[in-house]
Amino acid sequence: MQPRPDPIAAMAAAVVNADRRAIAKAITAVECESAEGAALLKALHSRLGHARVIGVTGPPGAGKSTLVNVLIGEFRRRGRRVGVIAVDPSSPISGGAILGDRIRMIDHGTDDGVFIRSLASRGHLGGLSRSAARAVDVLDAAGFDVVIVETVGAGQSEVEVADIAHTRIVVCPPGLGDDVQAIKAGILEIADIFAVNKSDTPLAERAERELLAMLSLRARAAWVPPVIRTVATTGAGVKELADAVEAHGQTGADPRHGVVERLRRVVANLAADEVRSRIVSRDNPELNALAETLRRGEVDYREAALRALEVLGIRHD
Amino acid sequence: MQPRPDPIAAMAAAVVNADRRAIAKAITAVECESAEGAALLKALHSRLGHARVIGVTGPPGAGKSTLVNVLIGEFRRRGRRVGVIAVDPSSPISGGAILGDRIRMIDHGTDDGVFIRSLASRGHLGGLSRSAARAVDVLDAAGFDVVIVETVGAGQSEVEVADIAHTRIVVCPPGLGDDVQAIKAGILEIADIFAVNKSDTPLAERAERELLAMLSLRARAAWVPPVIRTVATTGAGVKELADAVEAHGQTGADPRHGVVERLRRVVANLAADEVRSRIVSRDNPELNALAETLRRGEVDYREAALRALEVLGIRHD
């Protein structure tokens, strides 16, 4: 009797072979957190580590998608195969990803060296970054040289995507009021490269000056994030942006650059989610009693957190 | 001999007494996560549960701060004492919170029934929501009837602030491109009330229609989020918004409404952070070996997460 063919192994092989239909199916499988998806990722893990992962984030209206679009073109000119994961919250109307911005990327729709996928989050913000990390694994295994993850600039996705990206580009619009000013400050820490987009508008110079002033106050020995002015609609500055990505790739100082570390961070986030939901669920009488203790002021937050971990079995070192 | 006076107890008493200087000092103490701050919160925990906590979030440029400003005025007219926590990433330039938007709130600067505080995050995005939850505790203990938490619309703060708020208002600008469309969809799940701000502009009707269309597709028995058109700069629609907040408060179905649950969620987030950082740190040889196992494809992500928890002492149920 013939052994039954292993559909997971076959699908993994097709992904590694860069079969576009297999890649699309694989991303759907890992996005749904199905058993098939988990087994598939497991089969792909040993094939990871080739891709350079680039996170592109920034506030709404900054022109991220248009910039990603021209960046794809620039990397293609340099002979790289480019995968793109666009992290979009799902729309209850479409039942899937909202197209919108994605439509602008059809420039590359017929190029075999480009694979673009917009992720549906199935209504759960926290799940977005998990899906993104898994989709990155698939594109990495499929041999893409560059994988761009574009986050929409809302929710916790930036922070967790920053965790898995080698190089993080923060796209700043030239000026959108005080909120953007605040955002710029808040994401300083996760930016490896700043792109001041729409830099043909009058406010761009001010934005660039402000960013440089902020950066000049930080002592960063290994890498000072460059501030690059771009006009995504014309492609101006995109060559410089791609150069900056390559230059940042040469530094390699960040421990996150290793694929083992990338996998480990995904695991750490999953484990943290598990612990959070066990503590929040009201099933455990010991945890219920602990919450009352906290309420009565008999323990402080930190003591309560360590005790909750003890209840779950984790001792404080 | 006299017993030494307990400075923590004295400060807690002053906070409960709504002493403004004590409140300000207390928020600073809890924001820094100092030992003093932890002891102070512990002393205040049994005084919590009076305040109604309202989260206000939305994309940059939606006019959140201006709306919060007029909402303060509306609640004051209704005889409520109002505390406001504005969650701002810190600026390396100012060394503290960026003022910007806050300046617009000076309308209420001399009103004793209003306390406004902008939080500095000390450069750590993840710490913002933790600081916010602690500052909410202080204002709750100080007897404010309403505590408004305004998040800047970036990072993971929305999601975690949503965790501690009784009522969550999502402020939508009338139109800012596809990104905003995506954001609207993504935050549908956390919105109890929608405010379509700047509704005197031509796009507002479309935004309202789109939101209503999305909402009509969701089966929500207990509470259907109302969509309220506001013009923050003139105050139009703000009475209706405050009415909606009060109406939502009457439902009381959400288990988060209990103060014990609020405290428990803070603890769950702290414990989850602790687990994440223990797994990410490369100190534990067993975890290092596990990461290599994952890399070789011998376990999948979920198995690895459960094993990591086992290494830390937590068994899978």
H/E stretch holding A55 reads strand A52-57
Contact B45 A263 (CB under 8 A): no
Given A61, A217, A305, which is nearest B271 (Cβ)? A305
Is there a single domain that holds both residue A280 and residue A226?
no
CA distance A228 to A192: 11
Which chain A residues in 109-148 lie under 8 Å from chain B, judged by CB atoms? 121, 123-126, 134
CB B168 within 8 A of CB B203: no
Position B71 in a domain: yes
Number of structural domains chain A divides into: 2
Sign of the torsion formed by the C-alpha atoms of B63, A186, A148 and A128? negative
Q: Which of B182, B246, B222, B187 has its CA nearest to residue B64?
A: B187
Q: Strand, coil or helix: what is A228?
A: strand
CA distance A28 to A14: 15
Is there a single domain that holds both residue A242 and residue A276?
no
Range of lowest pLDDT (A214-218, B91-95, B235-239, B247-251): B91-95
Q: Strand, coil or helix: what is A203?
A: coil
CA distance A271 to B311: 11
The residue assigned the tokens 């860069």 is: A18
Which chain A residues in 151-190 lie under 8 Å from chain B, judged by CB atoms? 152-156, 158-159, 176-183, 185-190
Given A61, A179, A189, which is nearest B177 (Cβ)? A61
- Rounded average pLDDT over B296-302: 92
ipTM: 0.78
Is there a single domain that holds both residue A136 and residue A285?
no
Buried-state track A43-55, b at ≥16 Cβ within 10 A, e below 16: bbbebbeebbbbb
Position A29 in a domain: no
Mutate to test the interface with A, among B275, B284, B310, B315 (most CBs of A within 10 A): B275
B146: domain CATH number is: 3.40.50.300
Position B7 in a domain: no
CB A69 within 8 A of CB A164: no
Is there a single domain that holds both residue A202 and residue A305?
no
Q: What is the mean pLDDT of chain B?
A: 79
Position B130 in a domain: yes
CB A207 within 8 A of CB A175: yes
| A312–chain B Cβ distance below 8 A for any pair | yes
What pTM was estimated for this model as a whole? Answer: 0.76
Contact A89 B185 (CB under 8 A): yes
Position B278 in a domain: no
Q: Would you list the DSSP string of B27-73? A: HHHHHTT-HHHHHHHHHHGGG-S-PEEEEEE--TTS-HHHHHHHHHH
Range of lowest pLDDT (A81-95, A243-257, B167-181, B291-305): A81-95
Could you tell me which residue, B131 or A53, shows the higher pLDDT? A53
Mutate to test the interface with A, among B179, B206, B265, B317 (most CBs of A within 10 A): B179
CB B132 within 8 A of CB B87: yes
Please check the confidence at residue A41 and state whether its pLDDT lies above 60.
yes
Could you tell me which residue, A177 or A108, shows the higher pLDDT? A108
Position A259 in a domain: no
Q: In the listed set A207, A225, A254, which residue is the last one of a domain according to the structure? A: A254
Closest chain A residue to the Cα of B279, Cα to Cα: A268
Is there a single domain that holds both residue A280 and residue A250?
no
Is there a single domain that holds both residue A102 and residue A188?
yes
Cα dihedral B268→B271→B277→B280 (10° resolution)? -70
Contact B313 A308 (CB under 8 A): no
Say which amino acid occupies B145: D
Position B294 in a domain: no
Is there a single domain that holds both residue A183 and residue A232?
yes
Position B190 in a domain: yes
Estimate to the nearest angstrom the gap between the alpha carbon of A213 and the chain centroid. 27
CA distance B121 to B123: 5
Please check the confidence at residue B71 and state whether its pLDDT lies above 70.
yes
- Rounded average pLDDT over A90-109: 40
CB A205 within 8 A of CB A236: no
Q: What is the mean pLDDT of chain A?
A: 79
Q: In the listed set A254, A283, A302, which residue is the last one of a domain according to the structure? A: A254
Within 8 A by CB and 6+ apart from B222, the residues are B251, B253
Domain span at A284? 268-312
